[in-house]
Amino acid sequence: MPNKKPHTASTSLRVIISGGGTGGHIFPAVAIANELRRRQPDADILFVGANGRMEMTRVPEAGYEIVGLDIAGLQRRLTPQNLIFPIRVMRAVRKAGKLIEQFRPDVVVGVGGYASAPVLLAATSRGIPSLIQEQNSYAGLVNKLLSRRVSKICVAYEGMEKFFPPEKLVLTGNPVRTEIASGNRLEARQFFGLTLDQPVLLVIGGSLGARTLNQATAAALPRLKAAGVQLLWQTGKLYYPEAAQQAAPFAADNLKALEFVQRMDLAYAAADVVVSRAGALSVSELCLTGKPSILVPSPNVAEDHQTKNAMALVRKDAALLVSDAEAPAKLYDTALALLQNPAQQQQLATQVQQLARPAATTTIVDELLKLIGKVQIPTS
């Protein structure tokens, strides 16, 4: 249960951060918490997530307390779960309200995901300052509905006034761990057991893995071997056993299947080209690391927002795009052609770095502290 100590004028800053569901929501939330804690070490920070989702393990691993709500999203087809959805939402809002009354936060942050809506509804109905951090270039339905209630909306892309009240918008970028871009190429190649004289392709399907990317990569293993390309292939937990078997005959060729990549800083540093889904966090990391990439947006997301994320880069000649439907036939033709074209790699790298916003996390925390009139502690 959350800390129940009395809230007085001398009590440290209290913040609730709500949301989760995927790494794209969780990692920005933890980045915000870390920056708050860096500036105000005695800050009291409580996370609220959805029971059964990955935030319930990842947030405690990052050193923060989390409370779970029994909430899930609407299914795309008629199911018994959809019929009880309104009841679950009302129960979640009631529990969120009790948590807020117990914890008494100065401010509430929503980062998206199932738990974000009940917490923001409960907070705004009690007049507590609140902030949404919208990661995508196409706003989610929940954030659009809540935008009239919250105090401030931090966004990662230009042109978001078509979704939100313009007077509440602050263009910040997405919170990304800045150390993600600090990897050393030599150290990275040694860490993964790769040679320095052959190109490296990094394939990342997000924290849960991506079926299309995994199937296309498995089929392309002989082509990668023939081309002398080394591979770091992040498969996701569900797909790893099969992928490991498929990659095993190519181990001597440095074609490696990995369930999860803990040292993403070194993975990016080792790579010449990246193949990735187009989740908001992945796109922001590619901008910060300046990596030439081929984006394969997931078709299984609300409002096809990954395609919109990808197009924000493609329109600026900062990435290549292969659709999920085209990937089985086209992805590795495109990847091999890019690996063999250093000039195109350099062009993409130059363009994508111009879109990076390395100060995103500090800017979001600035806005958060402004909402509650807290005195700024210098960020440098």
Q: Which residues contact 246 (CB under 8 A, 6 or more apart)?
A: 218, 221, 257
In degrees, rounded to 5, the angle at the alpha carbon of residue 57 between the alpha carbons of residues 60 and 263 is 85
Tell whether residue 68 is among the known ligand binding residues. no
Which amino acid, one-letter code, is at 257?
Answer: A
Sort residue 19 into left (φ over 0), alpha (ψ -120 to 50) or beta: left
Tell whether residue 300 is among the known ligand binding residues. no
Q: Which two tokens stand for residue 154?
A: 């931090």
Which amino acid, one-letter code, is at 233?
Answer: W
Handedness of CA 229, 234, 238, 244 (dihedral sign): positive
Tell whether residue 238 is among the known ligand binding residues. no
Q: Which of 243, 236, 192, 198 is nearest to 217 (CA)?
A: 243
Tell whether residue 220 is among the known ligand binding residues. no
* CB-CB neighbours of 321 under 10 Å: 18
Tell whether residue 281 is among the known ligand binding residues. yes
Whole-number Å distance between alpha carbons of 305 and 313: 13
Tell whether residue 380 is among the known ligand binding residues. no
Tell whether residue 283 is among the known ligand binding residues. yes
Tell whether residue 271 is among the known ligand binding residues. no
Whole-number Å distance between alpha carbons of 41 and 13: 10
Tell whether residue 137 is among the known ligand binding residues. no
| CA distances for 11 relative to 95, 105, 282, 358, angstroms | 24, 11, 37, 31
Tell whether residue 158 is among the known ligand binding residues. no
Per-residue three-class SS string for 225-284 = HHHCCEEEEECCCCCHHHHHHHHHHHHHHCEEEECCCCCHHHHHHHCCEEEECCCHHHHH
Tell whether residue 3 is among the known ligand binding residues. no
* Contact (CB, 8 A) for 108 and 97: no
H-helix segments, the chain: 23-39, 55-61, 80-83, 85-103, 116-125, 141-146, 185-191, 211-227, 240-247, 264-270, 280-289, 305-314, 327-339, 342-353, 360-371
Q: Which two tokens stand for residue 243?
A: 């992928």
Tell whether residue 210 is among the known ligand binding residues. no
* Residue located via tokens 């007077």: 167
Tell me the binding residues: 22-24, 136, 177, 207, 280-285, 306
Tell me the binding residues for UDP-N-acetyl-alpha-D-glucosamine: 22-24, 136, 177, 207, 280-285, 306
